[in-house]
Each structure stands twice: as structure tokens, then as C-alpha cells.
Amino acid sequence: MLRIQRIETLDLPDLAPYRTLRRPIEHEAQGIFVAEGEKVVHRLLESHFQVVSALLPEKWLGEFEPLLRARPEDIPVYVVDKKHVLESLVGFSMFQGVMAVGKFPLRFPQ
């Protein structure tokens, strides 16, 4: 199931992984990673990794919607209409602004 939510505020708790993009140690402790860019997000959505959420500009929604709908998990998709809003959230300038949060697979003892 796909849940599209247009972002009206950057304070949503679910946006925290995007807000802490430059703190990978925190993400690793939570068992998550942030995929950035069109090609990397495409690969994540086509993979077996669990997808937690996606964040993208309005103009990319049409391209990613079929891949997002094909996923078995319930994925919140946060859509922004202006790139500068997205850049305010992550704290730096972005070329495409396409991102998604994935979960690391469970690690098995060796």
C-alpha cells in the first residue's frame, strides 16, 4: 500500500532520517540507510531490502509511483513541491532530491 503525503511541515517525526542524513552512525544503530539519487532509489525499490519511506519532489512522483506501488510493505511517500523545501530539511543543496530510507537486512551469526 502506498501513502502519499504532501509535506506541509518539516517537523514530522517520520522525516528524522532525512534530517540526520549526515549522521550515518545514528542510522546504522537504527538499522537503516538513506538512498540518494534517482538510480540508487530505483535500485532500492527493485531490491529485496525493506523500504521504510520515500521523499521526493512532486515532479518525480509519476516515475517512482509504479515501483512504490509494487512493493509489499506500506510505504509513506513524502512529496515536496519545491526543491528548496527539501534542501531545508536535509541541510544541503541536492541535484535531484530523490531519497528513500531502507532497512539493513538482519545479520546472521557466522
What confidence tier does 84 reach under pLDDT thresholds 50, 70, 90?
low
Cα–Cα distance measured from residue 102 to residue 54, given in angstroms and rounded to the nearest whole number? 9
Bridge partners of residue 33, in order along the sequence: 102
Please give the full DSSP string across 67-83, using - where no structure is assigned.
HHHTSSS-EEEEEES-H
Q: What pTM value is reported for the model?
A: 0.83
More confident of the two residues 99 and 1: 99
- Given the candidates 1.10.3210.10, 3.40.50.2000, 3.30.1330.30, 3.20.20.60, the CATH classification of the domain at 2-103 is 3.30.1330.30
Is residue 52 within 8 A of residue 17, CB to CB? The reply is yes
Q: What is the pLDDT of residues 31-77, one digit of tens each?
A: 899 898 999 999 999 999 999 999 988 889 999 999 999 999 999 99
Cα–Cα distance measured from residue 79 to residue 86, given in angstroms and rounded to the nearest whole number? 9
